[in-house]
Amino acid sequence: MADEGIAGSVAAPGGGDRPSTIVGRSPWQIFWMRFRRDRVALGAGVFLVLLAALAITAPLIARDLVHHDPNALFRDTLNEIGLPKVGPSAEFWFGVDTSGRDVFVRTIYGARTSLLVALLSTGFAVVLGILLGSLAGYLGGWVDTVISRAIDLTLSLPVLLFSIGIAAACSIKAEGCLGGLIQPGISLVTAIIALFTWPYIGRIVRGQVLTIRNKEFIEAARAMGASTGRILLRDVLPNLAAPIIVYGTLIIPSNILFEAALSFLGVGIPPTTPSWGRMISDAARGQLYTVAWWMLFFPGMALVLTTLAFNLVGDGLRDALDPRTQVTG
């Protein structure tokens, strides 16, 4: 049978007269090929990996390398009116704060809080978004109506105001809310952030499912006798992977900022848990940063660099996964 020619540089002639030394590349291999070439995104990714390593090993670093507990108070680093007098030095790499605590140790402990809350809340938001978004898109009708209204409503709420309200309501009693399922602290903050960010994923998933649902390959699957569940799992979801990865990655930095904002406002995370947002608010109180710039500078830089890195990685992923940007070779 004659061949109709080849699509792109990857396909070898169907006739097979050329030995197929060129192995077919999966969409993921193509993605990795493209992403690897994006130096900026790759650099940002390396930064995030290092940050994660630092966050995970923070207790070890604090105990064995710096020998400073995050909540240890070094009174002799404060002057007579209680202001920190030790800036970045050999003993205190990032200086000390107004209670005489090591800012470096608190910054790497803050990375734990930030990453944990941001990753967990993004994870919940993605799962919720996929579930509700794909149901709305695939089933349509009143299911779609209800879910879409919920998305619109959530996105139109004044987020910080509602967060403070919910956090306050759930922190009145020690057992928290939803029958003790959500307790004050990290789980409460995570739940609040997930609650306000799933609609972004849900909306994107719904839109994608709407387009995919009408593709002929879905009809082909139905014509072959596949069930709705199988179609959603095997034909719809794999096609959602790319946008979900991209938007999931882009939501992480905004969730980091969300957590920082809540901590800055003194909501949710207990004061003893190191958190970038609370460190910044400590530095801002009474304009302390005019006498101890390091109190603001280091947690601020950590926050800026981390959110920037996540955004750069997200952009890189988007470029590498976008089927519209053609890459040859």
Partner 1 sequence: MSVQVGERAMPGTEEARTPLVRLRGVKKYFPITRGIIFQRRIGNVHAVDGVDLDIYPGETLGLVGETGCGKSTLARVIMRLYDPTEGTIEFEGRDITRLKGRELRELRRHMQMIFQDPFASLNPRRTVGSIISEPFRLHKTVPRDRIKAEVQQLMELVGLNPEHYNRYPHEFSGGQRQRIGVARALALRPKLIVCDEPVSALDVSIQAQILNLLEDLQEEFNLTYLFIAHDLSVVKHVSDRVAVMYLGKIVEMAPGGTLYRNPKHPYTGALLSAVPIPDPRLAAHKKRIILEGDVPSPIDPPSGCRFHPRCPSAQFPICSEVEPTLEPMRPGQVVACHFPLPDRAVIDEGAEEATPSAGPSAG
How far apart CA 301 and CA 291 sit, in angstroms, is 18
Of 24 and 158, CB closest to partner 1: 24
Task: Give me the least distance between CB of 211 and partner 1, in Å please.
Answer: 10
**Least distance from C-beta 241 to partner 1, angstroms?**
8
**80 or 216: whose CB is closer to partner 1?**
216
Q: Which is nearer to partner 1, 1 or 60 (CB)?
A: 1
Of residues 64 and 216, the one with the C-beta less far from partner 1: 216
Least distance from C-beta 324 to partner 1, angstroms?
13
Torsion of CA 37, 43, 44, 50, to 10 degrees: 130
Question: Which one, 12 or 177, has the nearer CB to partner 1?
Answer: 12
Q: Return the number of the residue (152 or 175) whose C-beta is nearest partner 1.
A: 152
Please identify, using beta-carbon distances, which residue of 13 and 165 lies nearer to partner 1. Answer: 13
Structure tokens, 87: 């800036």
In this structure, what are the phi and psi dihedrals at residue 326, rounded to the nearest 5 degrees? -80, 140
Burial class (CB in 10 A: 0-12, 13-18, 19+), 106: buried
DSSP letter at 289 equals G
Q: Report the candidate in 325, 152, 299, 167 with the shortest Cα–Cα distance to residue 242.
A: 325
How far apart are CB 207 and partner 1 at their closest, in Å?
17
Question: Residue 5 or 158: which CB sits closer to partner 1?
Answer: 5
CB of 226 to partner 1, least distance (A): 6
Task: Find the shortest distance in angstroms from Cβ 64 to partner 1.
Answer: 47
Nearest Cα residue to 265 out of 152, 318, 189: 189
Alpha carbons 208 and 224: distance in angstroms, whole number: 23
Q: Residue 17 Cβ, how far from partner 1 at the closest point, in Å?
A: 10
Residue 78 φ/ψ, nearest 5 degrees: -105, 150
How far is it, in rounded angstroms, from Cα 251 to Cα 291? 35
Cα(235)–Cα(217) distance, rounded to whole angstroms?
A: 8
Burial class (CB in 10 A: 0-12, 13-18, 19+), 68: buried
Query: What minimum distance in Å lies between the beta carbon of 201 and partner 1?
Result: 19
What CA–CA distance (Å, rounded) separates 292 from 76? 16
- Residues forming the site for partner 1 (CB under 8 A): 1-8, 10-16, 20, 24-27, 142, 145, 215-217, 219-226, 235, 238-239, 241, 323
